[in-house]
Amino acid sequence: MFSSVQSFKSIFLKKLESTYGKSFEETTKQDQYQVLGQMVREYISEYWILTNEKYRFTKAKTVYYLSIEFLLGRLLGNNLLNLGITDVVKKGLKELNINLDEIEEAESDAGLGNGGLGRLAACFLDSLASLELPGHGCGIRYKHGLFEQKFVDGFQVELPEQWLRQGNVWEVRKPDLAVEIPFWGRVQTYHDGERLCFQHLEAETIMAVPYDMPIVGYRNKTVNALRLWSAEPSPLPYHKDVMQYKKETEAVSEILYPDDTHDEGKILRLKQQYFLVAASVRSIIRSYRKKNNNIRDLHEKVSIHINDTHPVLAIPELMRILLDEERLGWEEAWEITTKTISYTNHTTMSEALEKWPIRIFKPLLPRIYMIVEEINERFCRELWKKYEGDWKRIEEMAIIAHDQVKMAHLAIVGSHSVNGVAYLHTEILKHREMNLFYQYEPEKFNNKTNGITHRRWLIKANPELTKLIKEGIGDKWIRQPEQLTELMRLKDDEQFLIRLKDIKQKNKEKLALRILQQTGTKVDLASIFDVQVKRLHAYKRQLLNVLHILYLFNRMKEDRNFKPYPRTFIFGAKASPGYYYAKKIIKLINTVADLVNNDKEVCDYIKVVFLENYRVSLAEEIFPAADVSEQISTASKEASGTGNMKFMMNGAVTLGTMDGANVEIFERIGSENIYIFGLRAEEVMNYYQNGGYHSREYYHYDRRIREVVDGLVNGIVSDSYGHFEPIYDSLLMQNDQYFVLKDFSSYAEAQERIGMDFSNVLEWSKKSLINIANSGYFSSDRTIGEYAKDIWKISTPQNVLQ
Ligand code: 26Q
């Protein structure tokens, strides 16, 4: 089918016409996408079957990565790349006068995630398959992914996302593997002569139907699976109101919840979490049972990883199966469970740690609640043995306290490994946020610095750069990304540096076109493309960026001789619909954009562009075109960041704080190749602990700050809808919790250095090259290699079949 351009072309044409019953000329890009997608899926299925046979035959230990989010983006281009058939397809289509890029754009993003955590899960699946490791994803098949964002008058408006509107060629529905998940009802306890037994009665059941999507490894014939569960009514609903029941059931996999830590305790979200976990664990056990007969060896053949606490109910759910269905004793069941499960933490912010009120938890999941209670009681008893009389410590560590279930505590207690996502983050977990648990069981804690797949984020997103790197150092780095360091040999090769700059320029041209198309704004191609793309959060400090833009604006207005190096400030960010403050910042950025872009004296030097609906497919166009990567979170707040790595791999230079993985980027490239500013994590945490920061002092003593902050309320940046008092207040009345004013001068100074350094073309290109050369460490292949070896104990199985 893809063995020659000729055969591809003829099969594609035939299929196209037979599927749609119209002549080739009449088919749309969408028709063409559907047919190409089907052909690729058919081609994949042969390898999929072989991979499964290999896993069955070798009985290889398998990891299941449970995640409430998988932010996959588009799959066609990536599958073609990993299968190694991009060129055949491209050539064949070209002969038919079709541009492959346009067909790719007909695919909707699979946007089943909020941001970093969900995209990390997607990168991990790509790396597992590419390293030929037995590992599958388990998630939810949301009918609607993260909302679509539009701006109306500069305000964010949310629209329901509809990725399934045209169907999904990549999924296979498997109704025969459906499982029933019970909610509500009551638990009856009885004695069967041998032991206490528990029966869940009068439950309302929801059917979980799996849809499998193939995850294709890089040119290695490995195809793993992402199993997404869809909620449907059970066939025999003992229900009064059938329509009502149908609606309530389907609601469970209807929408992905936006990341909103302010709006807690939505019962439907807990339902989603148990739905994912119960369906996944049942199917894991079923598949284990097919190959193995002794449940006591489960942890030798299966590893279950929980991505943050969202799937933490896998712990009591596995206990339930081992106790109630396999009839093991508590100690035995507990040992198997903890040896099977491992947990990643993605945040240090205590307000973001999940807690569920008992009044919601207990009635919805009565048997699971009983098990959590027992886990808590036994855990507290163990604590008592070690810390007799230390009530305060035990209360702080308990899983259930103050009428709440603390999901992070359950995750730590019920798993054998707890990891953070960057060195600094893990240190903060060990020595601050989770210190009591670290004191109790230090051996559980470990770091796994995040990574990104260089296949999507470099090879796919930046083909020109990929070509240049191959010319420079060959292609060993494609399978061993750390070999990118070979590029260091070329850091003084002027010709190579010029070519690198030319590629960046071309990518900037492409992005400029997209910007013009979507916003109507014309940007200066010679300007610095200075980019901040990520979710909107106070701690990520988009506010610092925009206040600095206002400062440049004020300065230009005041001093006619002040001409900054031309800049295009590019933003992309979704705010959670209920996050009032974040939405104000969006409006502020759009207001500043209007002000700056329409000012005749300023707009030749500064442009501000806020791209709507930031998502994976847009990100793939942005990273290759960036000169400066803004990673400016308040130190200690950003667990890792992964956008920072995507920018670096595409040759952007970081302007950042010593936070998350920025610290490790800094260590690898040295101070000449990154712009570091601001408070260190240690200083921030000391201020939180001891006080001593007074934002008003910075306002009073720094005229630049005063003018900018006053601008928020005196009419400079305001409009018919009013001013930005809430932002003004956060800075001055609420003492600027994220140290925006404190870090302002050091940020402005770093920005000024960037402006000066950028004009030295060769020197800048050298920084860019050094960033690329050292980005291989941040490939998720390295990260997954570490998880596989240290946590999951899985390895590549022998190739038994030919
Ligand atoms: C919470 C309550 C209700 C509804 C949704 C949520 C929710 C959903 C998603 C809370 C948090 C998330 C996502 C968090 C996240 O993406 N964290 C990021 O994880 C990345 C991968 O490890 C890190 O690089 C980032 O630093 C971290 O912020």
pLDDT by residue (tens digit) across 614-643? 999 999 999 999 999 999 999 999 999 999
Ligand 1 atom with least separation from CA of 114: 9
Asked about 646 being catalytic, the answer comes back as yes
- Is the pLDDT confidence value at 268 over 90? yes
Q: Is the CB of 261 under 6 A from ligand 1?
A: yes
- Cβ–ligand 1 distance for 660 under 6 Å, the answer yes
- In the set 9, 271, 346, 537, the catalytic residue is 346
Closest ligand 1 atom to Cα of 661: 24
List Cβ neighbours of 689 (8 Å cut-off, separation of 6 or more): none
Tokens in use for 58? 């070798």
Determine which one of 501, 504, 534, 584 is catalytic: 534
From atom 17 of ligand 1, which residue's Cα is the shortest distance away? 117
Question: Distance of alpha carbon 765 from its chain centroid, rounded?
Answer: 29
> At 142, is the secondary structure helix, strand, or coil?
coil
Tracing tokens 């061993």 back to the chain, one arrives at 480
Residue 459 in contact with residue 478, Cβ under 8 Å? yes
Is residue 114 lining ligand 1, measured as CB closer than 6 Å? yes
Residue 109 DSSP class: P
User: Residue 182: enclosing H or E segment and its boundaries?
Assistant: strand 179-183
Strand partners, 65: 137, 305
DSSP 576: P
List 347, 642, 654, 657, catalytic entry: 642
User: Which strands sit side by side in the sheet containing 400-401, from one edge to the other?
Assistant: 355-357, 404-406, 400-401
| Any atom of ligand 1 within 6 Å of the Cβ of 349 | no
d(CA 273, CA 68): 7
Q: Quick one: which of 228, 235, 163 has its CA closest to 205?
A: 235
Q: By the 8 A CB rule, do 69 and 118 touch?
A: yes
Residue 494: pLDDT band with limits 50, 70, 90: very high
Predicted confidence (pLDDT) per residue in 169-227, tens digit: 999 999 999 999 999 999 999 999 999 999 999 999 999 999 999 999 999 999 999 99
In a 10 Å sphere around its CB, with 0-12 CB exposed, 13-18 middle and 19+ buried, how is residue 40 labelled? buried
Q: What is the pLDDT of residue 716?
A: 79
Of the pLDDT bands very low, low, confident and very high (cuts 50, 70, 90), residue 22 is very high
- Would the CB of 451 count as within 6 Å of ligand 1? no
| Cα(455)–Cα(798) distance, integer angstroms | 25
Instruction: Name the pLDDT band for 265 (thresholds 50, 70, 90).
Output: low
C-alpha 303: how far from chain center: 22
The DSSP call for residue 788 is I
Ligand 1 closest atom vs CA 639: 26
Query: Could you tell me the distance, in angstroms and rounded to a whole number, from the CA of residue 286 to the centre of ligand 1?
Result: 31
259 touches ligand 1 (CB under 6 Å): yes
How far away, in angstroms, is 269 Cα from ligand 1 center?
Answer: 15
Identical fold for domains 59-74+109-448 and 454-684+741-778, yes or no, is yes
Closest ligand 1 atom, residue 266 Cα: 3
Q: Which long-range contacts (CB under 8 A, 24 or more apart) does 687-693 make?
A: 687/739, 693/735, 693/736, 693/739, 693/742
What are the helix (H) ranges across 614-661?
616-622, 643-649
Residue whose CA is at the smallest distance from ligand 1 atom 25: 641
SS3 636: coil
Ligand 1 binding pocket includes 420 (Cβ within 6 Å): no
Residues 300-359 have pLDDT tens digits of: 999 999 999 999 999 999 999 999 999 999 999 999 999 999 999 999 887 788 999 999
Checking if the pLDDT of 483 tops 80, the result is yes
Classify the C-alpha dihedral 457-459-465-470 as positive or negative. positive
Q: What DSSP letter does each residue of 661-726 carry, written as one string? A: THHHHHHHH-GGGSEE-S--HHHHHHHHHH----HHHHHHH-HHHHHHHHHTTSSTT-BTTB--HH
Contact 449, 422 (CB under 8 A): yes
Mean pLDDT, the chain, rounded, equals 96
- Specify burial of residue 8 (Cβ count, 10 A radius: 0-12, 13-18, 19+): buried
How far is the C-alpha of 768 from the C-alpha of 761, rounded, in Å? 10
Q: Is 399 in the pocket of ligand 1 (CB under 6 A)?
A: no
The β-bridge relationship of strands 528-533 and 417-420 is: unpaired
d(C-alpha 288, C-alpha 60), whole Å: 11
Q: CA Rg, the chain, in Å?
A: 27
Q: Tell me the two tokens of residue 134.
A: 């037995």
DSSP letter, residue 565: P
Q: Is the CB of residue 743 less than 8 Å from the CB of residue 544?
A: yes
For ligand 1, is residue 450 a contact (CB within 6 Å)? yes
Determine the distance separating the centroid of ligand 1 and the alpha carbon of 389, expressed in angstroms.
Answer: 37
Region 398-410: mean pLDDT is 97
Could you tell me which CATH class the domain 59-74+109-448 is placed in?
alpha beta
Active-site residue flag, 346 = yes
To the query of whether residue 305 is one of the catalytic residues in this protein, the response is no
- Those residues whose C-beta lies under 8 Å from the C-beta of residue 390, and which sit 6 or more positions away, are none
- Ligand 1 contacts CB of residue 146 (under 6 A): no
CA 765 – CA 651 distance, rounded (Å): 8
Alpha-helical runs (H) found in 458-493: 463-473, 476-479
The answer, yes or no, to whether any atom of ligand 1 lies below 6 A from the CB of 116, is yes
Least confident of 125-134, 235-244, 386-395: 235-244
Binding site membership of 309 for ligand 1 (Cβ less than 6 Å)? no
DSSP 442: G
Expressed in angstroms and rounded, the spacing between residue 115 Cα and the centre of ligand 1 is: 7
Q: Of the spans 246-250, 275-279, 716-720, which averages the highest pLDDT? A: 275-279
pLDDT band at 719 (very low <50, low <70, confident <90, very high): low
Helices (H), 21-70: 29-58
Q: What fold is seen in the domain 454-684+741-778?
A: Rossmann fold (3.40.50)
Sorted by sequence, the CB contacts under 8 Å of residue 43 that are 6+ apart come out as 1, 2, 83, 85
Catalytic-residue membership of 535? yes
Measure 658 CA to ligand 1 centroid, in angstroms. 20
3-state secondary structure 364-429: HCHHHHHHHHHHHHHHHHHHHHHCCCCHHHHHHHCCEECCEEEHHHHHHHCCCEEEECCHHHHHHH
Token reading at 287:
């598949």
| Model confidence at 660: pLDDT above 80 | yes
> How far apart are the C-alpha atoms of 388 and 330, rounded to whole Å?
24
Q: Which residues contact 221 (CB under 8 A, 6 or more apart)?
A: 47, 50, 51
C-alpha closest to that of 217 among 453, 423, 504: 453
Bridge-based pairing of strands 528-533 and 567-572 is parallel
pLDDT average, residue stretch 608-612: 98
DSSP assigned state of 144: B
CB count within 10 Å of CB 722 equals 9
Instruction: Report helix, strand or coil for 157.
Output: strand
Reference 429, options 656, 633, 685; nearest CA is 685
Q: Is 639 in the pocket of ligand 1 (CB under 6 A)?
A: yes
Phi, psi of 609 (to 5 degrees): -125, 125
Ligand 1 atom having least distance to the Cα of 69 = 9
Judge if the beta carbon of residue 257 lies within 6 A of ligand 1: yes
Domain definitions of the chain by residue range: 59-74+109-448, 454-684+741-778
CA distances from 157 to 527, 578, 591, 680 (A): 30, 12, 16, 36
Going by alpha carbons, the residue nearest to atom 7 of ligand 1 is: 259
Ligand 1 atom closest to Cα of residue 115: 16
**What residues are paired with 180 via a beta bridge?**
207
Q: What is the pLDDT of residues 523-577, one digit of tens each?
A: 999 999 999 999 999 999 999 999 999 999 999 999 999 999 999 999 999 999 9
C-alpha of residue 605 to centroid of ligand 1, in Å: 36
Write down the residue that tokens 């075109």 correspond to: 625
Residue nearest to atom 12 of ligand 1 (CA): 259
Q: What is the pLDDT of residues 172-183, one digit of tens each?
A: 999 999 999 999
* pLDDT value at residue 430: 98
pLDDT of residue 721: 55
Q: Are 104 and 760 in contact (CB under 8 A)?
A: no
Closest C-alpha to 407, from 428, 382, 376, 378: 376
Report DSSP state, residue 312.
T
Residue count of the chain, please give it. Answer: 802
Q: Which of 117, 256, 645, 784 to mutate to test the pocket of ligand 1 (most atoms within 8 A of CB)?
A: 117
Structure tokens at 413: 């207690």
Query: How far away, in angstroms, is 784 Cα from ligand 1 center?
Result: 19
Binding site membership of 640 for ligand 1 (Cβ less than 6 Å): yes
Question: Taking a C-beta distance cutoff of 8 angstroms, is the pair 488, 482 a contact?
Answer: no
